[in-house]
Structures are given as C-alpha cells and as structure tokens.
C-alpha cells in the first residue's frame, strides 16, 4: 500500500530530520511507528501527505509510493484523492463550527454526494457520540470527543490508508481503549493504518508490525510481538527493567 524508501527530509534547508528512512505499510495492515519526541515521526507523516512545505521542510532524497505510484512531493489534495488521510496530532478540528460541518469539511475532495452520504452514515455509526452531538459546536466537545471527531473527519475522505498521529495523547486510559478499538474497527472495514504513538503498548497490541525511529533513522523494526519482547523497547517505553 505505502512504501517509503530511503527518505531524507530537511527543514529550513539546514536541519536534516529524516536520514534515509524506509518503511512499508502492507495493504490491510496496522503498522506502528514509535519513537521519542523529536525523532521525526510527524515529519514522516507530513512527507507522505505533502504537508512539509508550510513548515519549511522538503524531501531531499528518497521516494514515497502508494500502490506503486510515485507520490514523492505531491500536492496534499492529490494525496487525499489517492486515498490517504492524516489525523494530525492535537485534535485539530475546526472549533467554531459544528460537528456536522467538521465532518462535511473532511469530504472536500469528493464528488459523489451519494458516496459522501454513505461515509457520513458510516462515521456516525462508528462514533455514536458524534451522532448525538451533531449540531454542537466542536469546540465545546470534550478532549476524547474531539479526537473522535478528528478521526471521523479524516474518514469522510474515504481513505484506503489512514495516518494517525498520536491519537491517544492526553486521553484518560478508558478513552485510550476506545480509540484503540476504533482503530481496529476502521482497519477491519478495509483501511490500512499507520499509527504514530508514544503509547507503545497500545500501538503494538493492535499493530501487526512496527518501526522505531531515533533521530531520523529506523533503529528497529519487526513483528509487534518481537518488538514487545525487545529489552531496549521494554526499558524505554514500558518502564520495565
Ligand atoms: P513529536 O512527538 O514531538 O511530534 P516527532 O517524532 O513527531 O516528535 P517531528 O515533529 O517530526 O518529531 O520533529 C523532528 C525534528 O524536527 C525535531 O527535532 C524538531 O525540532 C524538528 N523540526 C520540526 N519542525 C521543524 C521546522 N519547521 N523547522 C525546523 N526544525 C523542525
């Protein structure tokens, strides 16, 4: 589905943030992307979705392919049209408009009204809480509800690949569980997922495989079970000794 090869990204023409990263998300899978703050996880997502430019970053080497098509440096709207949607870190919803309007905004690249209606019904089905609060102004939702809305809005683009940037950040344990279950459901309905998480246990509990990024390089990758059993990962992420 997604194949990133030897990717190098530079910010402001000087700061080399990704230093030759290769990563694959096979069709139908959930892949976890782990790493400390500043390792370059968000940068990798931005490089895939074409959102580096507003941050004065650019790809200086390597390729991003979707189902074999080279999309390196493609325009963000074209990337969405190809079936890739990103949920940014920090629940960036439109706070002043309603839940309903936020969801419809997520469908901006789509032409068929019937298909948009279908996605809308599917999102409300997946998130009953959003159905109940359809007419509420999004800024009044709780943190967990806003995270659901951010995910729901991305789903309105009917993505084949969903990029999630730390969806569990700042959420209470119960809500983290809910987010995890939602990601599993989305995946079961046919969407591949690249999941960026600080919460390694949560991510690896649902991902088939994972990658660990450290200062712009992949330092470990493999099946989730292998990563969960890895001494260094246990020490760093799970606080185990
Ligand atoms: P976090 O979880 O904190 O978001 P991350 O792994 O997603 O971490 P990135 O946000 O990709 O990391 O940042 C990687 C590095 O790039 C950091 O050292 C950061 O300071 C730097 N960086 C990010 N954006 C810019 C920018 N616009 N200009 C210069 N450096 C930047």
Distance (Å) from CA 124 to ligand 1 centroid:
34
pLDDT at 12: 93
Which pLDDT score, from 0 to 100, does residue 105 have? 93
Cα 108 to middle of ligand 1, angstroms: 28
Q: Probe ligand 1: pick from 12, 33, 40, max atoms within 8 Å of CB?
A: 40
Each of the 241 residues of the chain gets a pLDDT tens digit; together they read: 999 999 999 999 889 999 999 999 999 999 999 998 899 999 999 999 999 988 899 999 999 999 999 999 999 989 998 999 999 887 789 999 999 999 999 998 888 899 999 999 999 999 999 999 999 999 999 999 999 999 999 999 999 999 999 999 888 899 999 999 999 999 999 999 999 998 898 999 999 999 999 999 999 999 999 999 998 888 877 655 4
The rounded Å distance from CA 45 to ligand 1 centre is 11
C-alpha to C-alpha distances, 46 to 9, 31, 123, 177, 189, nearest whole angstrom: 10, 17, 24, 26, 25
Task: Report the atom number in ligand 1 closest to the C-alpha of 216.
Answer: 14
């Amino acid at each position: 589905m997604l194949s990133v090869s030897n990717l190098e990204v530079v910010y402001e023409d000087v700061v080399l943030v990704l230093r030759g990263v290769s990563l694959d998300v096979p069709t139908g899978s959930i892949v976890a992307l782990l790493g400390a703050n500043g390792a370059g996880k968000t940068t990798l997502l931005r490089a895939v979705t074409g959102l580096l430019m507003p941050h004065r970053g650019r790809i200086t080497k390597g390729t991003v392919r979707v189902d074999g098509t080279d999309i390196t440096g493609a325009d963000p709207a074209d990337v969405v049209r190809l079936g890739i949607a990103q949920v940014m870190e920090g629940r960036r919803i439109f706070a002043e408009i309603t839940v309903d309007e936020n969801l419809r905004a997520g469908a901006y690249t789509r032409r068929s009204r019937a298909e948009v209606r279908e996605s809308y019904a599917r999102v409300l089905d997946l998130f009953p809480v959003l159905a109940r609060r359809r007419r509420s102004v999004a800024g009044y939702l709780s943190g967990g509800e806003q995270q659901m809305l951010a995910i729901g809005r991305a789903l309105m683009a009917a993505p084949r690949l969903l990029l999630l940037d730390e969806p569990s950040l700042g959420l209470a344990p119960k809500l983290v569980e809910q987010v995890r279950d939602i990601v599993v459901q989305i995946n079961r309905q046919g969407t591949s997922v690249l999941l960026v998480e600080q919460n390694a246990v949560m991510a690896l509990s649902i991902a088939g495989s994972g990658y660990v990024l450290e200062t712009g390089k992949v330092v470990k990758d493999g099946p989730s079970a292998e990563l969960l059993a890895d001494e260094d990962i246990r020490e760093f992420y799970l606080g185990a000794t």
